[in-house]
Amino acid sequence: MLKPQPSLQSQFSSSSTQTPSFLLHKPFLHGNGYSIASLPILSMQYSFHKKNKNVRIASVPGNNIKAVATASTDNGDKATSVKAIVTVKLTVGGFLSSLVIDRDDITDLLGKTLLLELVSAQLDPKTGLEKETIKGYAHWKSQDEGEVKFASGFEVPADFGEVGAIFVENEHRQEMYLKDIILNGFPNGPVNVTCDSWVHSKHDYPHKRIFFANKSYLPSETPEGLRRLRKEELVILRGDGKGERKTHERVYDYDVYNDIGDPDSSDDLKRPVLGGKQYPYPRRCRTGRPRSENDPLSEKRSSNVYIPRDESFSEVKQLTFAAKALYSVLHALVPSLEAAMVDGELGFPYFTAIDSLFNEGVNLSPDHKKAQNKVSLLNTLPRLVNSITQAQDEMLRFETPETMDRDKFFWFRDEEFARQTLAGLNPYSIRLVTEWPLKSKLDPKIYGPQESAITTEMIEQQIKGFCSVKEAISQKKLYILDYHDLFLPFVSKVREIKGTTLYGSRTLFFLTPEGTLRPLAIELTRPPIDGKPQWREVFTPCWDATGLWMWRLAKAHVLAHDSGYHQLVSHWLRTHCCTEPYIIATNRQLSAIHPIHRLLLPHFRYTMEINALARESLINAGGIIESSFSPGKYSMEFSSVAYDQQWQFNLEALPADLLNRGLAVEDPTAPHGLKLTIEDYPFANDGLVLWDTIKEWVSDYVNYYYPNPTAIESDQELHAWWTEIRTVGHGDKKDESWWPVLNTREDLIQIITTIVWVTSGHHAAVNFGQYTYAGYFPNRPTIARNNMPSEEPSEEVFTNFLRKPEGALLQCFPSQLQATRVMVVLDVLSNHSPDEEYLGEAIEPAWAENPHIKAAFERFNGRLKQLEGIIDKRNANRELKNRNGAGIVPYELLKPFSEPGVTGKGVPYSISI
């Protein structure tokens, strides 16, 4: 047995619980003839004294190393032996980055990796003060695939009370990812502490991390021994609003969107600040980066965008799919496409050239020197990129979308154009027509006549034999995609951008007796511009060649409007962007042990990281959205206008949204309390079942923790949370009268259900079908590049149109570079990660510990499985023509579960891509 020399014994008489310093140096052991790496059995024991606690640092045979803190009390009560098992995930960038334990490291060998301190939930009855913590080092115990276990033993006095929290100090110089801590040995069963958190090195930040046990408490019910810690942890998370945030920090604070532009690189990349009176917008997470040199209102851009450390992707997402794949697309593949295409404005010469993207592919490296990043791409994007060894070329070959695979001409058909407003990528825009004639609300002095050019005679000619316009409106048979007032103010500005154009548009549909929609008319409008009066024209399906091709061109413009609105409003604004303030407020105002914090936590995972990546490379000045979608460089400004004019929290609830758009009426006798005006509306039908399922789960949860109204009234954290969401996170709308009040359990259930729906069902419906419906871009062109041939045409333009109308349509479509750039991004965004966390599939540890909540979750899971069967049955019903028919892709976007990949189904908990 190795024993310390007598001259060193004095070092043990210390008031410190730290391991004697001489033990941390290899020379001490090597100098006594020992090699730490080769020690088969090592048994050392040192004891020293601190007040009335004896602490023993020990190493026992078999590499099963333990640190035992032995506590004795004056009254001689018998202590309980407790064993702590700490699970640390192997990570690439943090502690254990080599994926093996360095057995030569004496620091690890003697347990200098993790210092644990048990915190009592009770105060000392004698002093009324918090009890002294019980400390012990955790030592390496074992290694499994992807995880390392550390163990520590404690002797817990009988009067210590319930362990309510654990302090953790990371002694290493690298961060580590703690999964959980389990304390075994207590007579009432184990104490579980779920961490799922990066723990910084004490050398980066000296304050210890605190992790609360899995039992949840309302603020008024918090045990006395945890009250101070509960409040202080929230203070840390709020920060002081000063300085640039560091990578390891966990501070949640608010800022405006002042980092979209890059004025230091170019004046053309300067963008207005979003957030404030002129451009209302939700708030984002503050990074504290310095201000731009050329624009003091803007933040300087950098490749490393701060988000609170625990908001980052899991390593599986980083390494196997989501973040790495999207990052690779944006930073390697897209530049490769740009390098490979000599002319970025070149359109597709023939439709067969579009087909070749799926059959032959795009040569990424005509100059092999430009192919430096391709090898990693082949590994990162196996679905997209197929390596073809021909003359050292590398090809980007796209998978054929399911829509195209089922029906090559699906995109050409009017009935499919109409069907996708109900069962496609953007089911959130179709509205009921309630007034006639259609009228704009814009100033006629600036934008021209308000009344639409679509006349009663035009529509009645289209629906001849069915009913009059008046009857169609009263019978709720007339519907509209209205992109007139929202787009028209941007037309003049967008038309100044080379290679693109814009209109305001209205598209009318008629509900047929079969329950399908039939397109009736498209109105395209250009406001007065360059001294010219307003131009507008109505296009209808017709039976002559010229009129038919004009109709097809008009549809292309409408689809470009719908694509831009979908991406910037239905998708980015209403899910990603508006959710970020909920995440910030939840972490600032609701303690980690608050039951509502734990209910919302899985719905917020990874959203802030994907939003930061979007600000870096998707919605930024000159990014994918601006360069390839309507309305170009004004895209984020357009999103701000939509937020200002359209967004209301109370209308984000699915039932309220349907009622607001006239797609449903209240009916207490109908399922879900609503009667749909279009009975076969796949998104609404499936969505309402999912909404009710979520609401039942939330109701079970809220009613358990808030058994009476008094509990809601007295919850200060809850009210601070809701107030901050309204007045800070969405502060530009703080004075709106439509904000729900929070006084009752029903109020809270509605608020929480709305947030959960937005992060799960709403996002899934507008995201995971992107490649399916837009992968073949003629079905959903993202931008229109040429004006209609009939808008003040030159003789040459109109002659060319008449001679070869297909060419006019191809030139109106996105360029080759725009199309392929969007296609690769949509493919990645439509993918489910291998570690995707689907709604209701796996129970959160804190939920599982409470029998009532666990039972409610099991009911939730069962109802979601039932929804899978309901959707399958609906898709098999031939009477439902909007989801069943020749060549039609079944509507599965709201099926809760999915396998990895581009599947067109699956509802994750959170906005994680």
What would the pLDDT profile of 268-325 be if each residue is shown by its tens digit?
999 999 999 999 999 999 999 999 999 999 999 987 899 999 998 655 444 544 555 6
Looking at 139-153, 461-475, 644-658, which range is the least confident one?
139-153
Residue 755 in tokens: 């947030």
Per-residue pLDDT at 683: 98
Per-residue pLDDT at 15: 35
Whether the pLDDT of residue 481 is over 80: the answer is yes
State the Cα torsion 654-660-662-667 to the nearest 10°: 70
What crossing angle do the helices spanning 682-705 and 745-757 adopt, rounded to 10°?
A: 140
| 913 carries an active-site annotation | yes
Whether the pLDDT of residue 104 is over 50: the answer is no
Per-residue pLDDT at 173: 82
Per-residue pLDDT at 635: 98
Q: What are the DSSP calls for 491-559, one per residue? A: HHHHTTSTT----EEEEEEEE-TTS-EEEEEEEEEE--BTTBPPEEEEE---SSHHHHHHHHHHHHHHH
The active-site residue, picked from 172, 484, 557, 571, is 571
Per-residue pLDDT at 362: 81
Q: Binning pLDDT at 50, 70 and 90, where does residue 172 land? A: confident
Whether the pLDDT of residue 466 is over 60: the answer is yes
Per-residue pLDDT at 465: 85
Whether the pLDDT of residue 2 is over 90: the answer is no
Per-residue pLDDT at 394: 66
* In CATH, 409-568+784-810 is 3.40.605.10: no
* In CATH, 80-238 is 3.40.50.300: no
Region 389-415: mean pLDDT is 82
The letter for the amino acid at 209 is: R
Q: Identify the residue with better confidence: 259 or 60.
A: 259
What's the Cα-to-Cα distance from 822 to each of 503, 626, 855, rounded to whole Å? 22, 11, 44
Strands (E), 599-724: 664-666, 674-676
Per-residue pLDDT at 397: 83
What pTM was estimated for this model as a whole? 0.89
Region 253-258: mean pLDDT is 98
Does the bond joining 437 to the residue before it have cis omega, within 30 degrees of 0?
yes
The active-site residue, picked from 172, 484, 561, 576, is 576
Looking at 55-69, 173-187, 840-854, 868-882, which range is the least confident one?
55-69
- For residues 289 and 785, the answer to whether their CB atoms sit within 8 Å is no
Region 439-455: mean pLDDT is 97
Whether the pLDDT of residue 511 is over 90: the answer is yes
**HSE-CB of 864 using CA atoms within 13 angstroms:** 25
| 576 carries an active-site annotation | yes
The active-site residue, picked from 767, 787, 875, 882, is 767
Across the chain, mean pLDDT equals 86
Q: Which helix (H) or strand (E) holds 827?
A: helix 816-829
What's the Cα-to-Cα distance from 353 to each of 639, 814, 816, rounded to whole Å? 33, 13, 10
Per-residue pLDDT at 56: 36
Residue position matching structure tokens 């949509």: 826
Whether the pLDDT of residue 570 is over 50: the answer is yes
Phi-psi region of 339 (alpha: psi -120 to 50; beta: other; left: phi over 0): alpha
The active-site residue, picked from 57, 755, 911, 913, is 913
Whether the pLDDT of residue 379 is over 70: the answer is no
The active-site residue, picked from 763, 783, 831, 871, is 763
| 730 carries an active-site annotation | no
Residues 6+ apart with CB under 8 A from 78: 158
Per-residue pLDDT at 99: 36
Nearest to 688, CA basis, from 663, 709, 717: 663
Per-residue pLDDT at 407: 96
Looking at 86-90, 616-620, 714-718, 813-817, which range is the least confident one?
86-90
Region 255-280: mean pLDDT is 96
Q: Is there a shared CATH topology between the 80-238 domain and the 409-568+784-810 domain? A: no
Q: Binning pLDDT at 50, 70 and 90, where does residue 111 land? A: low
Every domain of the chain and the residues it spans:
80-238, 409-568+784-810
Per-residue pLDDT at 31: 35
Q: Binning pLDDT at 50, 70 and 90, where does residue 145 land? A: confident
Looking at 320-334, 393-407, 510-524, 841-855, which range is the least confident one?
320-334
Nearest to 294, CA basis, from 257, 273, 267, 259: 267
Phi-psi region of 842 (alpha: psi -120 to 50; beta: other; left: phi over 0): beta
The DSSP code for 123 is B
Q: Identify the residue with better confidence: 7 or 261.
A: 261
Q: Identify the residue with better confidence: 764 or 20.
A: 764
Looking at 144-153, 592-601, 641-650, 841-850, which range is the least confident one?
144-153
Per-residue pLDDT at 325: 65
Region 662-681: mean pLDDT is 96
Residue 843 in tokens: 């129970």
Per-residue pLDDT at 9: 33
Q: How many whole angstroms separate alpha carbon 643 and alpha carbon 166?
A: 43
Per-residue pLDDT at 668: 94
Q: Binning pLDDT at 50, 70 and 90, where does residue 22 land? A: very low
